[in-house]
Each structure stands twice: as structure tokens, then as C-alpha cells.
Structure 1
Amino acid sequence: MDNQKGNLYLIPCTLGDTPPLEVLPLLVKKAIEEIDHYIVEHEKTARRFIKGIHPRKSQPSLHFSQINKFTDESEIPSMLSPCHEGFDVGVLSDAGCPGVADPGALAVEAAHRQGIRVVPLVGPSSILLALMASGFNGQNFAFNGYLPIDKRERRQELKRLERLSAEIGQSQLFIETPYRNNQMLESLVSTVTPDTQICVACDITLPTEYIRTMPASNWAKTKVDLNKRPTIFIIQK
């Protein structure tokens, strides 16, 4: 590998409006202080995060490339050009760890193809924090992303995940668009068997954090408003 190349740093950010240094290590602050080139989901969000970490950093000196679900993959290799000029590049997600359920993974893939060293930094992942707090199987688990929006297809997928959990003891994690969280929980409770365990992990690391694990039969009697609150759902049979 060419030692003159810059590195690609995967820089975690907060999961909400938590003061950054309450949940992020100093190594993240050091990386932000030294890096001026970034690959981000949204420039405005990234600038706000960088300013929160390092208020005195010169904003005009920052360079941003945007990567999201609308990005043409052919544009991604050129986003790493600063690395070939000896500059480090940072990848920032809108929340949590870049590259995990995040379009930043495409930049990481391109970096490996170009022989650029990839450096992951420690920070909060809502997926892993939810699994840690669930009490479910942490040896065998799967993150399934978003489930189908169509009610019939969603019920079929929930039944499939429940069967899979029962067959191989695998914890099944998934998410929903925040404004549909309440409907997802209702659908989940009415679809799985009453003894299936459900964990709802909401607003992780925030003052409003809510994490509960109990059988579907108990959730049927529980009132909780998840509307517009980032939530991880986990089931285990």
C-alpha cells in the first residue's frame, strides 16, 4: 500500500442531540480537528456536528461530498481523490456509525478497491446498543433493515422472521420510518404469537431513552408513543 495516501476514517456521531463528548471518545474529537475532507449524507447536518465537536474549526476550509440513496455509484471513487493527494477523508453518517445500515458503506467498498486504509472509530451504534440492552441472543443475530410497507407483506415477513428465530435461535432486528413506529408495534404485536419476546429500544442515548423487553401479550396491554422517535425493534422466539 502506498504510505503517502491518506486514510479513510469512519467517524461515528451522536444518535440525537446528546452533547457529543458524553457518548464519543476523544479520538473522534481528534479526527474532527485534523480532517478537512468529508463524505457525508447531508452537508448541513455534518457541519453542525463538526461545529459541536470543534467550535473553532474553520468552516470555509471544509470540503464535502454527499453520499445518499440518490448517489450514482460511479461518482463515489472520485470522492476519495483527496486520499491519493495525501489527505485523510472522514465519513460521517447523519446518526450513529457510518457504514452500518448507512450509504457510507459504498465509500468504504471503494476505498478497499483503491488500496486506501480504512480506520473505523468507536462510537454509538443504535443496532448494537439495542441488542445489548434486549437480553436476546448476541451470539446469533440479524439486522433486517426496513420491512415491507404493505400490511399483508409485512405480516408475512414478521411471521418469517419469527419462524427463523425459533428455528435457529437468532435475534431478529429491524427498523421502521419513525412516523410509522406506532403502526409497526401494533402490527408486530398482532402478528407474532403471544409468547414471542419483543424488545423496543427508542431514543437510545438520549434523555428520553426507552428500552423494554417483554412478551407480545404484555405489549398488547402497554401504551407507549413511539411516533417520530428513532426505534429499533427486536424479536426472539
Structure 2
Amino acid sequence: MSEKTYGNLYLCATPIGNLEDMTPRALRMLQEADIIAAEDTRHTLQLLNHFNIKGHLVRYDEHSKEKQGAYLLEAMLQGKNVTLVSDAGYPGIADPARLWRRKAIAAGIKVVPVPGANAALCALIASGLPAYPFFFGGFLPKSKKNRREQLELWKHIPATMILYEAPHRIDDVLEDILTCWGDRPMAAARELTKLHEEFYRGTVSSTLAWLKEKPPRGEFCLIIGPGEAKGR
């Protein structure tokens, strides 16, 4: 009796703004995929059209993750290859794929990373702050209470902190960081790899002042200086 061959799950990074950052390998994974799973099919369709790629595109987001996750898992168990993408950067970091990949691994599916652009690392290396060790926190909780509780838990981590934040919450988040962590050195990056890419380097308080002069637009990547370990 022949051994059953499963398909693979390719976690494929896509550009975070500049389409020239799309790698030849990522293009091949999209071209060869039996199924392309996307966080936002409209956004990904624009990417596919730009590179003249035709494929079976399905939506996999927070609202469809249970139903579509089961469908995609069954497809791979039947030998189909699935390429998973997020709206920008790596899937599985700050999007619904972070949970589903575990199910694929548990089912014996081979999970293959396909490298490419990443906002956190782009911002980190250009921030001017220590590049290692670093701690990636992603998006903080939306409510002030939960956000401050999270910040207090991370207050004494002796590593450069990397956070993502939306423009409509950036002021509130920085105010909470200033209250919980003090006026640390930091860099704020926005529109990374795009025409109007911008970095501000200063402190938490000076970043707040800068934002009052330059209304926030686009998602931010915040690089914040390390905390002091407890007991020092």
C-alpha cells in the first residue's frame, strides 16, 4: 500500500509597500499553488494581476477562519499545495494565520516559510536603536485598561521593543507607553518602503509632539528602547 502524500503549506511573504520587493521564489510559489489563501482577496488580487498570475484564490480571515481553515486543511490532506499570504509582509505574525498554521503542523502538513519583506525588521535596522536583543509585541490591546496591563507586564524586558499600531490609536498608545514605561528613546516608522517612507527618531514625548504637527497616516511601526531588568 503506497504512502499517502500530503500537500504543503507555503507561508509566503509579500511586499509591504514596494512591489519591487517581491521575490522570484514568492512569485513561483503563487504561480504553482493549487490554492492561494489570502487575508483580503481584493488586495491580493491586485498583487496577482500586477504580476499576471492566475490562480484559485480563497479568503482566509478572522471571520472565515474556521470554515475556510477546515477546507484548506482537507485540501492539503488530499495532496493540494496551499500558498498563504497576508495583506503585507509575513503571514502568521499579526493576522489570522497565526493560529491555523499550528493545525497544519499537528496534521502532519509540511509548513514552508518563503522569505521576503517585513515591517518590524525594516524599522528595527534603520531605527538607530540596539538591534538585538529585541522583543516583538505586535499590536497592543485596544482598550486602555488591557493595554496598560500589557505594558506593565513588559515594562522590565531588557530588549528593544517592537510594536505595530494603527494611526487612529497612535496618540493614545504613546501616552500609555509614556505613563507606564517613561520617556524612553524611540523611533516611529510609517509608509515603509513606499514613496513617502518616514522615520522619526527621538523620545516617546517628542514623538507625541511630532505627531501633533504631522497628522498620523498609515500603519506605524514603533521601535522603543529597552527596559531595565528587575533587580538592577
Aligned position for 2:156: 164
Cα–Cα, structure 1 residues 119 and 154, in superposed 2: closer, same or farther, change >3 Å?
Answer: closer
Aligned position for 2:45: 47
Read off the aligned partner of 2:28 and give its amino acid letter: K
Read off the aligned partner of 1:47 and give its amino acid letter: L
Distance apart, 1:44 and its partner CA: 1.4
Distance apart, 1:130 and its partner CA: 1.6
Deviation by residue 1:125-178 (Cα, 9 ceiling, x = unmatched): 1112222222334333222233244446545654554x314xxx2122222223
Which whole-Å CA distance do the structure 1 matches of 2:75 and 2:217 have between them?
Answer: 37
Aligned position for 1:134: 127
* 1:97 partnered with 2:98: no
When normalised by structure 1's length, the TM-score is 0.80
Which whole-Å CA distance do the structure 1 matches of 2:65 and 2:91 have between them?
Answer: 18
* 1:84 partnered with 2:77: yes
Read off the aligned partner of 2:159 and give its amino acid letter: Q
Which whole-Å CA distance do the structure 1 matches of 2:77 and 2:144 have between them?
Answer: 48
Which whole-Å CA distance do the structure 1 matches of 2:90 and 2:123 have between them?
Answer: 14
Which whole-Å CA distance do the structure 2 matches of 1:118 and 1:152 have between them?
Answer: 37
Contact 1:5–1:87, Cα closer than 8 Å, also in 2: yes
Which whole-Å CA distance do the structure 1 matches of 2:202 and 2:195 have between them?
Answer: 22
Which whole-Å CA distance do the structure 2 matches of 1:97 and 1:129 have between them?
Answer: 13
Query: 5+ residue gaps in structure 2?
Result: 227-232
Deviation by residue 1:78-105 (Cα, 9 ceiling, x = unmatched): 3123323332110010111111112112
Which whole-Å CA distance do the structure 1 matches of 2:162 and 2:99 have between them?
Answer: 22
* 1:199 partnered with 2:199: no
Identity, in percent, stands at: 26
Distance apart, 1:186 and its partner CA: 5.1
Bigger shift: residues 31-40 or 73-82: 73-82
SS in 2 for 1:179: coil
* 1:178 partnered with 2:167: yes
Read off the aligned partner of 1:233 and give its amino acid letter: L
Cα–Cα, structure 1 residues 192 and 108, in superposed 2: closer, same or farther, change >3 Å?
Answer: closer
Work out which of the residue numbers 193, 196, 210 in structure 2 matches 1:208: 196
Query: 5+ residue gaps in structure 1?
Result: none
Read off the aligned partner of 2:97 and give its amino acid letter: G
Cα–Cα, structure 1 residues 109 and 158, in superposed 2: closer, same or farther, change >3 Å?
Answer: closer
Which whole-Å CA distance do the structure 1 matches of 2:6 and 2:166 have between them?
Answer: 39
SS in 2 for 1:15: coil
When normalised by structure 2's length, the TM-score is 0.81
Which whole-Å CA distance do the structure 1 matches of 2:59 and 2:222 have between them?
Answer: 29
* 1:219 partnered with 2:219: no
Cα–Cα, structure 1 residues 148 and 83, in superposed 2: closer, same or farther, change >3 Å?
Answer: closer
Read off the aligned partner of 2:24 and give its amino acid letter: L
Across the aligned residues of Structure 1 and Structure 2, the Cα RMSD in angstroms comes to 2.6
Distance apart, 1:72 and its partner CA: 5.0
SS in 1 for 2:92: coil
